[in-house]
Structure 1
Amino acid sequence: MSQVSDDYFLKSTFLLNLVRFIEWPDEPMPKPEPLYFCFFGNDSFGTALDNIREKTVRGRELIIRKNIAFFEIKTCHLLFIDASKKEELNSILEATANYPILTVGDTPDFASAGGLVNLINYQGRIMLEINIDAAQRTQLRISSRLLSLARLIEEKRSQ
């Protein structure tokens, strides 16, 4: 595997583990609905997502949807926004701001721009940045255990 594939293999595992520490406002549900992992933009993960296919989280089946259209983003529980969508990032984050969607990226300043979780590569390790303001807007509950492992980011405010 190439280095990029290794990074995205690790990131796919991070995504799976990440949702184990997140509660959506609609939980608990009598009949668990699937968790939709959506990927918007270029397919940087490639086959790395095969690692997490057919998994479950708290009794919820995980369904992976790649190459979704803009109008589909509100149907996702986790929305990974690829770097190829950097020019559209503000409009994407604005469209998801008040919905219980875990927005995830891996580009510089993703969390400070309004994304909820940024997976950054720091000295060969994947590190988490979490935007607490975004979490409050989405009403997602993040485990204190996860917060203790992350670098907490403040959102850049427009003047």
Structure 2
Amino acid sequence: MRGKLVGLAVFLWVLLSSLSLEAIADDALNAKTKANYVFNFTKFVEWPALMNDTLHVCIVGAEPIVNLLSDLASRDTKGHLLQIWSGIDDPQVCQILYIDKDAPELQALTRQVRGNQILTVSDADGFAGKGGCIGFYAENGQIKLEINPDAVRNAQLKINALLMEIARIVR
């Protein structure tokens, strides 16, 4: 009897360990997908009043995305230098503001920058439907986009039609 219990315990441990590793792998893949999307937003969004050659991407509460974007920062993005900031003191300096769904300042930051030329992005449930510019959502194991064209227009930004085509439009 004791041998069966030990065998069952080992089986359960292996099963739970593999589920944990799978969840970690999924989280890493999701972070990579989101980082790639954010980087590509720099190519498919126009900021009319971009005063200098630097495009500031501010990330709040998502260190894996910060790390991945930092690796991409040396790439050219429509002639702009990309500067990645982890956390922010003044969100008004950002052109893209990504706020993680678990960041306590999500709602306050979103309200604070509304109407400014800042592309707000989050993986919070229903973010775009609640007034953010671009939201990430999961569907069939994939990260997808939803875009709120009214929020984008209020931010005085223009999104390329190719990006609009791959997104779900919400209002």
Aligned residue among 27, 41, 44 for 1:21: 44
Q: Tell me, yes or no, if structure 1 residue 84 matches structure 2 residue 102.
A: yes
Q: How many residues align?
A: 148
- Paired residues of 1:53 and 1:62 also in contact (CA < 8 A): yes
Where structure 1 has 5 or more consecutive residues not aligned to the other structure, the ranges are 155-159
CA distance in 1, matches of 2:63, 2:71: 15
Decide which structure has greater helix share. Answer: 2
- Paired residues of 1:44 and 1:82 also in contact (CA < 8 A): no
Q: How far did residue 46 of structure 1 move? A: 5.5
Decide which structure has greater strand share. Answer: 1
CA distance in 1, matches of 2:72, 2:136: 17
Aligned residue among 115, 129, 135 for 2:146: 129
Which residue type is aligned with residue 61 of structure 1? L
TM-score (norm 2): 0.79
Report the equivalent of 2:79: 59
Q: Among the aligned pairs, what percent are the same residue? A: 30
Larger Rg: 2
Are residues 20 and 46 of structure 1, via their aligned partners in 2, closer, same or farther at CA, if it must alter by over 3 Å? Answer: closer
More RCO (CA 8 Å, sep 6+): 1
TM-score (norm 1): 0.84
Q: How far did residue 21 of structure 1 move? A: 0.9
Q: Following superposition, which runs of at least 4 residues in structure 1 exceed 4 angstroms of deviation?
A: none
Deviates more, 1:89-98 or 1:45-54: 45-54
RMSD, matched Cα: 1.8
